[in-house]
Amino acid sequence: MAIRNLLTRKTLATSPLGMLGFRSLKTFSLPDLPYDYGALEPAISGEIMQLHHQKHHQTYITNYNKALEQLDDAMSKGDASTVVKLQSAIKFNGGGHVNHSIFWKNLAPIREGGGEPPKGSLGWAIDNNFGSLETLIQKMNAEGAALQGSGWVWLGVDKELKHLVVESTGNQDPLVTKGPSLIPLLGIDVWEHAYYLQYKNVKPDYLKNIWKVMNWKYASDVYDKECPES
């Protein structure tokens, strides 16, 4: 794959298009929500969903694209110090895009299965790893409540060791920053923008209510893909 891209780039560079400086840089755009802004009420208000999606997520994407263009430019000039300097902007904004893209899929309106507990192999894995679903939820809520500043709480699966983990990350660090073989199944955004207009300082109430719209089906699908039954 990498070799193919290199060849493509080289071809572009010498082709008429390449002479004009066109690069094969992929940029990103805001994914649609799979439901209306108000569809997760009363757990999460439509006002929050709209701001969160149209403003916060969009801003991460805008800034990520900008950073990628600057990175592409610095790389092609061999400007190593700029490449390194851009890493934090890429982690912040790229992480923001990655994390929020997962988040929208983690949630579902109640009438579309939001809140329905996991069945099948993920349900079993939760019982094996944590004792029960209630225990898992309590653990994640405790981590979410204790997180200082901005960040996320994750349920993940270690694709090498095939066990479930609960982890938190700061700012927009994706789960993979806690372990290269960790795959996110569910993430809870505990940045204040995710709940403040509705829950104010009472983060624990947000954490209690979000489970009512949790899309366990998505989590199960990801889990089954990483840990297929033999």
Partner 1 sequence: MVAIAVAGITTPLTFPLFPGFRRSSRSSQLRMSQKAGHGVITGKFELRPPPYPLDALEPHMSRSTFEYHWGKHHRAYVDNLNKQIAGTELTGKTLEDVIVATYNSGNLLPPFNNAAQVWNHDFFWESMKPGGGGKPSGEILDLINRDFGSFEEFAKEFKTAAATQFGSGWAWLVYKDKDKKLAVVQSPNAVNPLVLDQVPLLTVDVWEHAYYLDYQNRRPDYISIFMENLVSWDSVSSRLESAKAGAA
Which residues sit in the known binding site for Mn(2+)? 52, 100, 189, 193
Cβ neighbour number for residue 101 with a 10 Å cutoff: 16
Choice between 47 and 69, CB closer to partner 1: 47
Structure tokens at 3: 């070799």
Tell me the binding residues: 52, 100, 189, 193
Which of 14, 29, 81, 201 touches partner 1 by CB under 8 A? 201
Choice between 13 and 51, CB closer to partner 1: 51
Give the Cα separation of 105 and 107 in Å (integer).
Answer: 5
Q: Which residues pair with 86 in a beta bridge?
A: none
The reply to whether 208 sits near partner 1 by the rule CB under 8 A is no
Which of 14, 81, 148, 230 touches partner 1 by CB under 8 A? 148
Cα 220 to Cα 146, 193, 215: the distances in Å are: 27, 27, 9
Which of 149, 228, 229, 230 touches partner 1 by CB under 8 A? 149
Packing angle, helices 120-130 and 133-146, rounded to 10: 70
DSSP conformational letter for 44: S
The reply to whether 92 sits near partner 1 by the rule CB under 8 A is yes
φ, ψ of residue 179 in degrees (nearest 5): 170, 125
Which of 170, 181, 204, 205 touches partner 1 by CB under 8 A? 170
The reply to whether 171 sits near partner 1 by the rule CB under 8 A is yes
**Which residues here bind partner 1, judged by CB under 8 A?**
51, 55-56, 59, 88, 92, 148-151, 170-172, 191-193, 196-197, 200-201
